[in-house]
Structure 1
Amino acid sequence: METTNFTDIFKSSILEKTSSFSIIDSSIGLVVSFLIGLFIYWVYKKTFSGVIYSHSFNISLIIMSMATALIIMGISSNVLLSLGMVGALSIVRFRTPIKDPMDLVYLFWAIIAGILCGAGFIPLVLIGSVAIGIVLLLFINKIRVEDPYLLVIKYSDSSIEHSLEHFIAGHAKKHTVKSKSVVAGDDYEATYEIRVKDNNLSFIHEISDMEGVKSAIMLSYDGNFTA
């Protein structure tokens, strides 16, 4: 009759599951994911052009890269663990709104970097991260695309519409009428999409001083509306 001792139980429950675990490989993956996370942190800080910079969000990119690497290391050597991890992650709901599309780019970058580090594709993640960083630094910091403005004008006399069109055409490189509507009674509202010359917005004061104009508002959209 065979007997089962504590050593047999310990060997079957722990040692067999960790037989393929490599401390050196795991350490290298974690270190590389941390360094890539720091690189993402630096690129995000250099290329941020929003309204309010969030340091906590930037730090979360580093942690996300390392945490993703840990998950991939764990599930890559155990099929049952991978199925359980997929089930656990499927019930997670992230309720923090992401307003800037570029934030999603950095989140996706951090996750992909963590996956590649956890899977052991160190050269690929290094080459890819450097390439992505160069593209972001080049297109956001060096190549500036002129954003359009929205000019919202409220006026009480429809006869000045031709004068408004002529005045806007003389101060903008390009303008397009987006909408015109009757607000209430004899009040009118017109919205123009314009691209200003030399970033000169002073002409809005001249529009607001025109006879029949009640208000003139200039809006720029870069993920958030700012007046």
Structure 2
Amino acid sequence: METANFNDIFKSSILEKTSNFSIVDSLVGLLVAFLIGLFIYYVYKKTFSGVIYSHTFNISLIIMSMATALIIIGISSNVLLSLGMVGALSIVRFRTPIKDPMDIVYLFWAIVSGILCGAGFIPLVIIGSILIGTVLILFGNRIKVENPYLLVVRYDETSIENLLEHVISEQVKKHSIKSKSVMPGNDFEVTYEIRVKDNDMSFINNISNLAGVKSAIMLSYDGNFTA
């Protein structure tokens, strides 16, 4: 009959699993993930063409690439740990809305780079990131985004509707009616989605000066509208 001694009791499966753990490979993977994250950070800042630049989102791209690499390094040598990690991540819910499709591209780029760094595909992630970054830099600044606006006009006579439509069609690039409503006091309110010509906003003064127009307000929006 075999008896368990102190060494058998003290022996842990965790120590056995760490015997296959390479500190050098892990540090190299995390360092490359950090450098790739810095490259993504630079490309995002260089090619950003939105309205409000988010520095915290850009920093999160670096952290995301490193954190993803850390996860892949941890689960690459243990199947049970990988299954547990998948189950743990499946309950995570992200509440921050991502409205710009290009932000999703950068998030996916950071995650893929972290996976490749953690898996040890260092040459692949370097070559791929250089190519992706080059494409974004070459074409990103050439894309001109036409920011839509909402033009809200309040008037008190239905007879000026045709004149209002004529003025808007003559002085903006595109327009379409989003909503029309009757306000208290027999006032009318109409909302247009418009795209201006060369950022020319002077036409709103012409609309305000029309007889019967009480107010004309122009707002920038992201394309989502609820009447």
Cα distance between partner residues in 1 of 2:174 and 2:106: 33
Asked if residue 151 in structure 1 is aligned to residue 151 in structure 2, the reply is: yes
The letter of the residue matching 1:29 is G
TM-fit CA distance, 1:205? 1.0
- 2:18 alignment partner, SS class: coil
* Residues 1-227 of structure 1: pairs in structure 2 closer than 5 A: 2-8=2-8, 13-222=13-222
> Would you say the 8 A contact 2:148–2:222 is kept in 1?
no
> Would you say the 8 A contact 1:50–1:222 is kept in 2?
no
The answer to which of 157-166 and 45-54 deviates more is 45-54
TM-align CA RMSD: 2.6
Scaled by the length of structure 1, what TM-score is found? 0.84
TM-fit CA distance, 1:144? 1.0
- 1:216 alignment partner, SS class: strand
The letter of the residue matching 2:142 is K
* Residue 43 to residue 124, structure 1, CA distance change in 2 (3 Å): same
Cα distance between partner residues in 1 of 2:176 and 2:152: 12
Cα distance between partner residues in 2 of 1:145 and 1:135: 18
The letter of the residue matching 2:28 is I
> Would you say the 8 A contact 1:51–1:224 is kept in 2?
no
- 1:190 alignment partner, SS class: strand
Aligned residue-pair number: 225
Cα distance between partner residues in 2 of 1:218 and 1:105: 31
> Would you say the 8 A contact 1:99–1:223 is kept in 2?
no
% identical aligned pairs? 78
- 1:16 alignment partner, SS class: helix
> Would you say the 8 A contact 1:100–1:223 is kept in 2?
no
> Would you say the 8 A contact 1:75–1:81 is kept in 2?
yes
TM-fit CA distance, 1:98? 4.1
TM-fit CA distance, 1:202? 0.9
Structure 2 residues without counterparts, runs of 5 or longer = none
> Would you say the 8 A contact 2:49–2:141 is kept in 1?
no
Deviations 1:38-67 (A, max 9, x none): 011112222334444332332222111111
TM-fit CA distance, 1:82? 1.3
* Residue 223 to residue 86, structure 1, CA distance change in 2 (3 Å): same
The answer to which of 33-42 and 2-11 deviates more is 2-11
Cα distance between partner residues in 2 of 1:223 and 1:177: 13
Scaled by the length of structure 2, what TM-score is found? 0.84
- 1:142 alignment partner, SS class: coil
- 1:113 alignment partner, SS class: helix
> Would you say the 8 A contact 1:155–1:214 is kept in 2?
yes
Cα distance between partner residues in 2 of 1:194 and 1:93: 36
